[in-house]
């Protein structure tokens, strides 16, 4: 009997680094590694931090008794990269250069791909970034855009994960369906998914203060209107409406939304998943040859990645 594929996931933030180790879909370790401000202040440049963060990760894994030689792949949060489409990308030299020099912007998340590569490289296993934070899958560009002003819309990794889980429940593939997905957490984001791509996405509406506590009817009404609007992006051809994350557990809130939009398509409520788990699930699809990885920066599909180390492509 084969051992499950063991994946290390890394999600760096400004003052912390979240890591998770999974055997297949089963979590065996998850830690949030907090970094003192004083520790980070000694580094003048963002990328000067990566050896420090890498060592903290390795020390944590060692204390937890994680055998690095059991790892099959390492995946990091994408960071700021200009990509033509979402997906699972192999980390290569071109990506490392763009992340290191902040070609498309500087953010702590840029360390994700670098840390993933640095750990994977020593083990001769592939490293990936997944479902880019900034992707240009959007079909229609707002009229306000001009070449000097590039509007970037943040796509929640959890949106695509929820869409895939809905498709699996229906015995379908994500790329076969048209869906409206509503990510309802601190920020409510509505996306129109056409056959595996997010073709339209709102900028997100923050839920704060009393509104967050009350989960009021007015907010449910606004969400329902957004769902209707995004159904038009799919020409009314909607296979399902997916509600996910914390507010999906508010029964009255969900009922008010469902009453207004169920005529469009079936409404499905799915529990949320943390980002580390989603990163791992995306990589597992590639490692199991269920879908190909992509090459940076052109997005060309790469087959047989489970046998090839990322740097050599």
Per-residue pLDDT reduced to its tens digit, 5-23: 999 999 998 899 999 999 9
Total domain count for the chain? Answer: 2
Q: What is the pLDDT of residues 219-235, one digit of tens each?
A: 899 999 999 999 999 99
195 and 46 assigned to the same domain: no
- Examine the domain organization and report whether 163 and 261 are in the same domain: yes
CATH number at residue 83: 3.30.420.40
The pLDDT of residue 277 is: 92
Q: How confident is the model at residue 150 (pLDDT cuts 50, 70, 90)?
A: very low
Are 72 and 52 within one domain? yes
Assigned domain for 255 exists: yes
Q: What is the pLDDT of residue 207?
A: 59
**Domain with 175 in it:** 157-270
Is residue 71 included in any domain, yes or no? Answer: yes
Share of the chain above pLDDT 70, in %: 84
Cβ of 145: how many Cβ atoms within 10 Å? 10
Cis peptide before 297 (omega within 30 of 0): yes
Residues 33 and 70 in one domain: yes
- Mean pLDDT (the chain) is 86
Token code pair at residue 131: 């479902």
Is position 117 within any domain? yes
pTM for this entry = 0.76
**Has residue 47 been placed in a domain?**
yes
Residues 251 and 280 in one domain: no
Q: What residues contact 200, with CB distance under 8 A and at least 6 apart? A: 138, 139, 140, 191, 192, 230, 233
- Shared domain for 24 and 127, answered yes or no, is yes
> In this structure, are residues 75 and 283 in contact, taking their beta carbons and an 8 Å threshold?
yes
Q: Classify residue 147: in a domain, yes or no.
A: no
Identify whether 64 is part of a domain. yes
- From the DSSP assignment, how many helices (H) and strands (E) are in the chain? 9, 14
Q: What is the tens place of the pLDDT at every residue in 93-143?
A: 999 999 999 888 888 999 999 999 999 999 999 999 986 544 555 555 444
Least confident of 61-75, 115-129, 169-183, 263-277: 263-277
């Amino acid at each position: 009997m084969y051992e499950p594929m063991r994946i290390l996931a890394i999600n760096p933030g400004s003052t912390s680094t979240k890591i998770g180790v999974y055997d297949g879909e089963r979590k065996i370790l998850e830690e949030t590694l907090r970094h003192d401000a004083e520790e980070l202040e000694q580094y003048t440049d963002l990328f000067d931090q990566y050896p420090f963060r890498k060592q903290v990760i390795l020390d944590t894994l060692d204390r937890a008794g994680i055998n690095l030689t059991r790892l099959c792949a390492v995946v990091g949060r994408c960071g700021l990269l200009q990509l033509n489409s979402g997906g699972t990308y192999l980390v290569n030299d071109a990506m490392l250069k763009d992340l290191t020099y902040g070609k498309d912007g500087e953010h702590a998340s840029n360390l994700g791909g670098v840390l993933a590569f640095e750990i994977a490289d020593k083990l001769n296993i592939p490293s990936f970034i997944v479902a880019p934070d900034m992707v240009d899958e959007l079909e229609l560009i707002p009229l306000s855009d001009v070449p000097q002003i590039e509007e970037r819309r943040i796509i929640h990794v959890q949106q695509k994960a929820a869409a895939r889980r809905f498709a699996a429940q229906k015995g379908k593939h994500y790329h076969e369906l048209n869906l409206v997905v509503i990510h309802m957490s601190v920020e409510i984001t509505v996306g129109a998914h056409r056959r595996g791509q997010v073709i339209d996405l709102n900028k997100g509406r923050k839920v704060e203060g009393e509104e967050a506590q009350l989960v009021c009817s007015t907010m449910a009404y606004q969400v329902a209107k957004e769902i209707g609007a995004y159904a038009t992006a799919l020409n009314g051809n909607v296979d399902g409406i997916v509600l996910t994350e914390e507010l999906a557990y508010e029964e009255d809130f969900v009922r008010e939304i469902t009453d207004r939009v169920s005529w469009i398509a079936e409404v499905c409520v799915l529990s949320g998943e943390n980002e580390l788990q989603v990163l791992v699930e995306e990589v597992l699809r590639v490692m199991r040859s269920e879908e190909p990885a992509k090459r940076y920066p052109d997005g060309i599909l790469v087959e047989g990645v489970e046998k090839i180390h990322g740097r050599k492509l």
